[in-house]
Every structure is written in C-alpha cells, then in structure tokens.
A and B are shown apart, each in its own frame.
Chain A
Amino acid sequence: MRFVELASRFDASVSVEKDGQTVDGREPMELMLLEGVCGSALNITTRGPEAAAALEALAELVARGFDEA
C-alpha cells in the first residue's frame, strides 16, 4: 500500500511490469496480483508532468525495502 499511496501522490501515471505482465501501479488489487516476491525484478515506468519526481520517489521506496519490517 505504501507504493500505491506514494504513486498516487504524483501527477503521473505509474506502470509496473514484471515478467511481461504490466499493471497500473496505483491500483492495489492489480499490484498484489503481480506477485512481487522478494528478489523479483520490477520495471517501473512513469509518464506525466511529475514523472521524474514520481520515479525517483518510488525507486527510493523500493530500495528502502518498501519500509516494511
């Protein structure tokens, strides 16, 4: 949810791709169905006025381990 919440804050569309499957990064249901298990590779694409900021923030969140314990 942190990912979704963060992604939703920016004026940009967010797509997340894994193993050929792409989902809307602002949709919690879709994201969960992507099965982003630990260690899997995700491709994040952002588009729109705040695309760059969004991408930077999301990349940082992922690097921090999604802020999960």
Chain B
Amino acid sequence: MSPPADPPSPAPMTILRGTPASPGVVIARAVVLDPEEYRISRPTIGREDVAAELAALAAAFEGSIRDMEAERRQIAEKLGSDTAAIFDWHIGILAGDRIRSEVEELIRGKQFSAPHAVQTVMHDYLQRFRNLRDSVFASRDRDVQDVSRRLLRHLLGESQQRLSDLTERVAVVAHDLTPSQTAQLDPQVAVAVATDLGGSTSHTAIIAHSLGIPAVVGLKTVSSTVATGELLVVDGFHGVVVVNPDPPTLERARTDAEAFAVFERGLSSIRELPAETRDHVRVELLANIEFPHEAGMVADRGGDGVGLYRTEFLFIGSGGVSEAEHYEAYRQAGEALGGRVLTIRSIDVGADKYAPSNGELIERNPFLGLRSIRYCLQNLPMFKAQLRAVLRAAAEHNIRLMFPLVTSLMELRQAKMVLGEAVEDLEEAGLPFRRNIPLGIMIETPAAALECEAFAREVDFVSIGTNDLVQYTLAVDRANERVAPLYTASHPAVLKLIHSVIKTASKSGIGCSVCGEMASEPIYTMLLLGMGLRTFSVPAGDIPEIKKLIRSTTIRHAERIARRALRFETDRQVSSYLREETRKIMPEVV
C-alpha cells in the first residue's frame, strides 16, 4: 500500500493570505529560509523512482564524506589535528551503517524522497540529543544539524542558499525572521519578504517598511508551501502572496508593480519641497529609525530630522552594549543627519522586545511589567551608560533625549536624577558633553495623557506613542489575534486623549509630536493636523506620502475634519469618515 505518485503537471497557482506589513507589489523568485530545516520539495516518490533516489542518497553521502574529509585536512593543516578531530564524529556518523540504513529503509519501505527521509531520521536524532540531561552531550545537536544540512545541500543542489549568499533579486520567505536576519536584508537583493508569523507591527514589518520593500506576514503556511525558485507575487498592500501566478494574474501584478514604482518615483520628486499646507503652515516631518545608517536615509527622503531613534535595536544579538558602543551609534546618526534634530529614546526593552538576557524572570503580564523606563530605573549601570553616551554625543550634534512609558512625575524626577548622576560622572571624567540637553517624555498611557499638564512643567517636549497609548487605553493586545480587531486609533477615547495632550502641550508652550503608527497612516493626517499637531514622526519611507498629504490640504479644512471626527460615537464611524475625506484629496493612498 503505497501513496500515489505525484502527477507530473505544471505547478498550480496558489493564493495565500496574510497581514499586509509593508506596502508595494513585487514579482520575484522565492528563496525559502529555514532556521533549522531545509524545505523539502516533495515528501514522497513513486515506486519506480526508489532506485534512483537510493542512488542519489549514496552520492550525497559520498559527497558529504569527501567534503568533510577535505575540510578536516585543511583544518588539520591550519589548526592542528586535535582541532580537526571534531570532524571525526561527523564523518563517523555518515560513514557508519546506522544512519544510512535508517534513511534507506524510509525510501524503500515508505517511498519517502531522499531529502524527506534524511530530514525525518536526523530530526529524530536531533530531538534525542536535545532531551539529554548533560548539556555538553545535548549540544551535539548542532553537529547533527550540520551533518543533516550538508547531506541536504548535496541532495537539493544549489537551490538552497543563505541570506548572505544572495546576489539576485529575490523574495525572502521564512517561518519567521530573526532580528539579526532582518538587519542583514539588503533591499537591492531582498526585494520582498513573506513570513508565516508576525503581525503588522512586528519586527519584520518595521524593518521592511523602513527599507521600502513590500512585506506580508502572518501567512501561516508560506514557508512550508513555497519552494525556493518558485515565482511569487508579493502584494504588501493587500497582504496577499501568489505562488506560481498564472498569465492573467502575472499581467495584473506587473501593472500593479509598475504603478507602485511610478508612485514611488513621483513621491521622490517631492523630496525638496517643504511639508507645508496649502495655507502656508509649516509642519515638521521627522523620521523613526532603529539603526544609525537609517539616519542617512532621512535627508534622502526629505525629512526634517529624527523624531524617534529606537535605541534598543543596538542590543539585538549581543550580551549588552557598552557606553562606547552607544556613543559611536549616536555620533554616527548625528553626523548622518548633518545638524537636523536627532531624538534619542532611552532603552525601551521588555514585553516583546529584546532585553540583554541574563536569566530574566518570566513575567505573567509583560506589557504591564518591568519594561522600558521601569526596567532602566532598576538597572542603573546600563541606564547611566546610555545616558552618558547621549550627553557626550549631544556635545557635537543636535540631540535631544526622550524617556519612554513614563507614567508618574516621581518616575520622571527619578530619571532626571539619574541623568544628573550621569552628568556628574562626565564632569569627573573630564569628557565634553551637553549639560542642558532638551528632555522629553513619551506619552503612552492614559495616566501620562491625563497628567500632561503636570509633566509639561518639567519637560521640554512630549511625544505621543500612539501604538501603546491605544493598547493601554482600550486594554487590547495588538498581537493577540483573538482581539486584534478591537485595536484601533479611531476609538473616541483615544482621540480625546490625543487631542487633550496636543492642546495642553500647546498651552504650556512645549513641543508635541506623534511618533506611533497613527502618524504614518494617511487617514489620520488631516485629523491630527486639525487637532493642532505640527510635528509628525514616521518611518522614513512614509515621509514623501505624508508630505504630499500635508501639501494637499489646509489647516482650516483639517480643523473642520477634526471637529467632526471628535463628535462621532464609534470608531467605525470615525474610520469611515476619515477614509472618505482622505480619499477626496488623495485617493491613491486609501
């Protein structure tokens, strides 16, 4: 009783739906990345293919052993034979009978394809190692993985590649991208991203967005459905990935991709023009960045500076960041901005971000737990190191400092005291720094929003972090699929809080910006302008679009829209109204 052989036929078109994470339409061949396993093109074969498959397996074993023996020789020459002995075990398990015969049995007995059989057997051993109690022996799982990958590489040929080996434009497909993988994406080569996991505000979405490449996340099965080399249409507007598009679909996709490219080029022509409304009110348009090199893009995109530099990205993949490393990053970013403002947000780790791990306690409710400024105030050496670096970099560059998630005056005053200590440290060390650095807080909770007037007396500016403000106000976890639809910035309560903060800041004579997603969503631009906002901070890639919107409206018109929107009772009414009004002046962004 054997499974039926796969019928030979042209690969069928498949449409996968996920969450739009970054706009754009791109047609490209897929490269499927897997952290642990390679994608297997067919799991089973027909009975008549068994002999050929066994032959391919034999060749893969021989090739792998040959390669490993050659590597062993090279290492023995360079580093001595004791070090080279590491390979002995790798070679040994392939040269022996056990693995070979187990894999052959699956091919013969169950008609598994060679790659699938190898993967099945090796996965089993992998699990057995991982279950061992002794950690030295358990870590042999990595060796098993290495050998497994080597065999698969021989079996599957050149089609499997690593991210850093890519040279032609491809759509990167993965179960999930690690932060360091996203940091390695080169937009010249990786022209689109599609992942099984992730939401619209995930890491992958943020990076793809700032790189200006389309991305679709939350596809659930894309990495197990798509094979490397297959042609894909990645539509970041609609959150759709089409595998092996048929001719009419391909034609439509080409048109969409071309239209997007034209739109992008049109936006780039707006770079030199100021973000000014038709009734000549100048709006400050800043960028949100994660890495120093993005600061360079800000000028390219016609931005006025950086309104949010998320400094926790420095921590990704490292055991901690030194003052020198902080300083270097800020200096670089400051320099790339050439005098434009750089707003540095102090470390915002905890919850879903990446903290320097050293046996951190698992929190039941991370979003309500030790994150952000609270984490910093309980980890003073780390916090002070960052503050010293910021103060030093501010000596030569236009830098201001912002504390996230501040909910009480006490907290702000504590943070200011720590800043004062950092100042003392630097005085003692005799290093140049800026003593009176402009200081602000992020308003991300109802507490901070309602107490804005008190805060305004003790800071130079505030920035509304709408992502978290919406979350804490509506008590909804935006990453929880079961309630995610409840998350919306259009909720009347959210609008009231934002409006109140903008008005209070203005009355108190301090700066106010919005740096959450709401600032870059076109339907909210006129609403925010109408509420009195004059500084927006958005992903660099969105600057041209928001600028175009600002230039297409007047404050008078925006104020009328805001007044009307603030009177609605439901978020749905607000959203439809705003969408309609935005469509009237810029249909292509809605």
Contacts and interface: CB of A to CB of B under 8 A. Distances in A.
Given A1-B85, A1-B88, A4-B92, A29 B125 contact: yes
B134 interface: yes
Contact of A29 (B96, B132, B133, B136): B96
Interface string B95-108: 01111000000000
Interface in B521-568: none
A37 B137 contact: yes
B140 interface: yes
A11 interface: no
A27 B137 contact: no
B263 interface: no
B501 to A, nearest CB: 60
A60 interface: no
Contacts, number: 39
A69 B82 contact: yes
A64 B133 CA distance: 26
Contacts of A32: 89, 129, 137, 140
Nearest to B92: A28
B93 interface: yes
A37 B137 CA distance: 8
A41 interface: no
Contacts of A37: 134, 136-137
Interface string A2-23: 0011000000000000000000
A5 B137 CA distance: 20
A28 B132 contact: no
B128 A27 contact: no
Contact of A33 (B85, B92, B128): B128
Interface in B332-374: none
Nearest to B128: A33
B132 A1 contact: no
Contacts of B92: 1, 4-5, 28
A26 B132 contact: no
Given A32-B140, A37-B137, A1 B98 contact: no
Given A33-B128, A69-B82, A28 B134 contact: no
Contacts of A29: 93, 96, 98-99, 125
A27 B98 contact: yes
Interface in A14-54: 24, 26-30, 32-33, 35, 37
Nearest to B138: A35
A35 B134 contact: yes
B137 A28 contact: no
B99 to A, nearest CB: 7
Interface in B313-339: none
Interface in B67-102: 82, 85, 88-89, 92-93, 96-99
Given A4-B92, A28-B93, A29-B93, A35 B98 contact: no
Nearest to B147: A29
Contacts of B99: 29
B232 to A, nearest CB: 38
A32 B88 CA distance: 13
Interface string A54-69: 0000000000000001
Contacts of B132: 33, 35
Nearest to B137: A35
A26 B48 CA distance: 34
Contacts of A69: 82
Contacts of B128: 33
Contacts of A28: 89, 92-93, 96
A58 B85 CA distance: 19
A33 B97 CA distance: 16
Contact of A1 (B82, B89, B125, B129): B89
B58 to A, nearest CB: 19
A27 B96 contact: yes
Nearest to B98: A27
A26 to B, nearest CB: 7
Contact of B129 (A4, A27, A33): A33
Contact of A27 (B88, B97, B140): B97
B133 A35 contact: yes
Which 3 pairs from chain A and chain B are nearest by CB?
A: A28-B92, A1-B88, A35-B137
7 contacts: A4-B96, A5-B92, A24-B98, A28-B93, A29-B99, A32-B137, A35-B134
Given A24-B98, A27-B97, A29-B93, 5 more contacts: A5-B92, A26-B96, A28-B92, A29-B99, A35-B134
